[in-house]
Amino acid sequence: MMQFMLLFSRQGKLRLQKWYAAHQDKMKKKITRELVTLVLSRKPKMCSFLEWKDLKIVYKRYASLYFCCAIEPEDNELLTLEVIHRYVELLDKYFGSVCELDIIFNFEKAYFMLDELLLGGEVQETSKKNVLKAIAAQDLLQEEETPQGFFEDHGLG
């Protein structure tokens, strides 16, 4: 079972965090700090897997973003790399050449998409088509619901 997933920039800014096991906020911050430092200090050709406490860390860099997952000892490292890749593909397909800014400005979408791919730390749906279909259905519902405050936001309310 995946314990958590962190997305952070090369500058160490956390962009997304997903915790599949309960921790106190203080602990989450501590873990995040520790891992960001650890992963950023690694050189490009190094192994993508690390032992960390009782867990295994699997990380991969895409452009300016690091995707970092913590999995349990019996979990499969290589396949975790591909979970990350599938997630990146989904984001990419949805946003159209995803970049860090997309994730900053649409962070809630990034969370919704992750919930379709992984649930409770386990792979739920690996079909790209099915995930995107689910997200498209959500967007469709959004468009049908005329936002009441929409005009206000545009200074017309």
Partner 1 sequence: MPTVKGDGMRGLAVFISDIRNCKSKEAEIKRINKELANIRSKFKGDKTLDGYQKKKYVCKLLFIFLLGHDIDFGHMEAVNLLSSNRYTEKQIGYLFISVLIGANNDLMKLVIQAIRNDLAGRNPIHITLALQCVANIGSREMAEGLSVDIPKLLVSGDTIDSVKQSAALTLLRLLRSSPDSIPMGEWMSRIIHLLNDQHMGVVTAAASLIENLVKKNPEEYKGCVSLAVSRLSRIVTSSYTDLQDYTYYFVPAPWLSVKLLRLLQNYPPPEDPAVKTRLSECLETILNKAQEPPKSKKVQHSNAKNAVLFEAINLIIHMDSDPNLLVRACNQLGQFLQHRETNLRYLALESMCLLATSEFSHEAVKKHQETVITALKTERDVSVRQRAVDLLYAMCDRTNAEEIVGEMLEYLESADYSIREEMVLKVAILAEKYAVDYTWYVDVILNLIRIAGDYVSEEVWYRVIQIVINRDDVQGYAAKTVFEALQAPACHENMVKVGGYILGEFGNLIAGDPRSGSAVQFQLLHSKYHLCSPATRGLLLSAYIKFINLFPEIKHIIQDVLRSDNNMRNADVELQQRSIEYLQLSSITTADVLATVLEEMPPFPERESSILAKLKKKKPSSVPEGSEQKETTASKIPAVQMSNNVDIAPPTSINLMSQGESSTDDFVDQGSPQGGSASVDLLGLGSPTQPTAPSVGSGGLLDMFDTLTSHSSAPATNGIDLGGLSGGAEEAFRKFICKNNGVLFENDLLQIGVKSEYREDLGRLWVFYGNKTTFQLNAFLVDVSTPGNLSETGLSIQQKPVGGEVEAGAQVKQQFNMACVQEFAEAPVMTIQFLYSGAQQKISLKLPVVLNKYITPAEMDANTFFTRWKALNSPSQECQQIIKATSPIDHEQVKAKLIGFSVSVLEKVDPNAENFVSAGILYTRNQQVGILLRLEPNKQAQMYRLTVRASRDKVAKILCDLMQTQL
Which listed residue (40, 49, 61, 92) binds partner 1 by CB under 8 A? 49
CB of 115 to partner 1, least distance (A): 5
CB of 107 to partner 1, least distance (A): 7
x/- string (CB under 8 A) for partner 1, residues 82-111? x--xx-------xx---x-xx-xxxxxx-x
Query: ∠ CA 15-16-22 to the nearest 5 degrees?
Result: 140
x/- string (CB under 8 A) for partner 1, residues 18-47? ----x--x---x-------------x-xxx
CB of 37 to partner 1, least distance (A): 15
Question: Which of 107, 61, 106 is closest to 85 using CA atoms?
Answer: 61
Burial label, 137 (beta-carbon count in 10 A; 0-12, 13-18, 19+): exposed
Taking CB under 8 A as the rule, does residue 122 contact partner 1?
yes
Instruction: Return the residue matching tokens 């079972």.
Output: 1
What gap in Å lies between CA 87 and CA 93, rounded to an integer? 10
Taking CB under 8 A as the rule, does residue 128 contact partner 1?
yes
CB of 75 to partner 1, least distance (A): 9
Count other C-beta atoms under 10 Å from residue 103's C-beta. Answer: 19
What gap in Å lies between CA 110 and CA 104, rounded to an integer? 9
Positions in 54-73 near partner 1 (CB under 8 A): 73
Taking CB under 8 A as the rule, does residue 53 contact partner 1?
no
Residues that bind partner 1 (CB under 8 A): 1, 14, 16-17, 22, 25, 29, 43, 45-51, 73-74, 76-79, 81-82, 85-86, 94-95, 99, 101-102, 104-109, 111-112, 115, 119-130, 134, 137-139, 141-143, 145, 147-150, 152-154
